[in-house]
Amino acid sequence: MICLDKKNGVPLKIVIISQIMENKNSTIPSEFVDICPIQDKDFHNEMSMLVNEPMFRHIVKMIAPDYSFTKIRLLLLSLNSKQEFQTKVMKPVVEGLLKKTSQGLTFSGQENLVKDVPNTFITNHRDIVLDSAQLSYLMLENGMDTCEIAIGNNLLIYNWITRLVRLNKCFVVKRNLGRLQTMAAAIQLSRYIHYVLTQRNASVWIAQREGRCKDGNDRTQESLLKMLTYGNRDVPFIESLKELNIAPIAISYEYDPNDRLKAREYLLKSKNPNYKKTQEDDLESMKIGIMENKGHIHYAFTPCINERLDKIPADLDRLLMVQRICNIIDHSIHANYKIFKTNYIAHDLLFDNKDFAEHYTAQDEKEFRDYLNGQVDRIDDIPVNASDRNYMLKYMLQMYSNPLTNHLEAIG
């Protein structure tokens, strides 16, 4: 039996789908214009400006050296929407990068992805660019629409980068503002995320913390959960979060291409607490994360946490409530890590034992030791003495062992 819409006799399923498409294609409210992805009506004009940027041409040649930029330019100018851009350009680009720089991308928990039910995907944050790009790739591979992606404006160093990411369904998270401006930006961001989920029926990706986790000890920032409710304060805290259908995703990398840069950063901070990365450092991290070896990569999709939120007492102190929800998200991520031999080896080396020796061979251990030493050897822009070397090696061991420690605790 086909259910019909009472007003016009059209099958109800068609009515619902048409309403979803109408919502997704509707004009963005003016309050979000400065942070939202570029609207499809403006897509061609923005792309026309992007392809004429010299730095964009340089990046394209770096990522796709075997292809003519003239042909790529013509392809880009033939597109008319963000969906086309992601399907015809970004998906093949990510697929090519995976073949060149990884041993493959796997995933689990796809049964937790429900078509036409939007989610706020909260993940641990390993790579500046690829965490969200690979998620979009997996969603397209599974016949699902991609999600909108949160990106900090600290990474939008040049206008062409801003244009590129907003053409790729990214929305802007404003950072490094004054106190009053920070609160106004948080309210705007929260309102936008709720708008995307409830009015456009689209999903959102956001990292569990500001910036990448540098030591592998993934923890959700309490400020993230608070921000998500700022634009919806007329609704109780739990109900506001439930509206977003939060679904954690655990991202696991066998090798972190930026491990040496993260260790270098912590070494410099240990010597100078006021040390801060430059914008050029972020660009270098993006380049290395995209182009260098990652080994095996795994994404584990976990269920929406709404049922677990229902079990939290409504009269619980707000601070305790936020902490409990952070723990729920963290547990979902930690319990669903894919543990690689690099994690087992690092844990045994760090604690000087053989507790996990059954998961690797002596040759595996030698190769991992050689890898870590080789990564330190590549740091040639600062002087590195024996003490500095040991500091960075120990830091990288912690980086690779922490996911295993957290996983064992979560499944314990």
DSSP calls for 23-40: HHHSPPPGGGTTTSPPPG
> Which amino acid does the sequence have at 104?
G
Q: What is the mean pLDDT of each run of 10 residues along the chain (412 residues)?
A: 42 40 66 97 97 93 89 96 96 95 97 91 94 96 94 93 97 94 97 97 96 92 96 92 98 97 96 91 92 97 98 95 98 98 98 98 98 97 96 98 98 94
State residue 26's pLDDT score.
60
State residue 322's pLDDT score.
98
Fold of 32-39+83-257+293-338: Glycerol-3-phosphate (1)-acyltransferase (3.40.1130)
Cβ atoms of residues 231 and 187 within 8 Å: yes
Which residues are CB-contacts of 144 (< 8 A; sequence separation ≥ 6)?
113, 115
Residue-level length of the chain: 412
Q: What residue ranges do the domains of the chain occupy? A: 32-39+83-257+293-338, 342-411
Q: How are the residues of the chain apportioned to helix, strand and coil, as percentages rounded to the nearest 5?
A: 55, 10, 35
State residue 95's pLDDT score.
96
- Using CA atoms, how far residue 405 sits from 41, 217, 297, in Å, is 49, 9, 19
Phi-psi region of 143 (alpha: psi -120 to 50; beta: other; left: phi over 0): left
Query: Within 10 A of 120 (CB to CB), how many other CB atoms are there?
Result: 24
State residue 15's pLDDT score.
37
CA angle 60, 66, 72 (to 5 degrees): 50
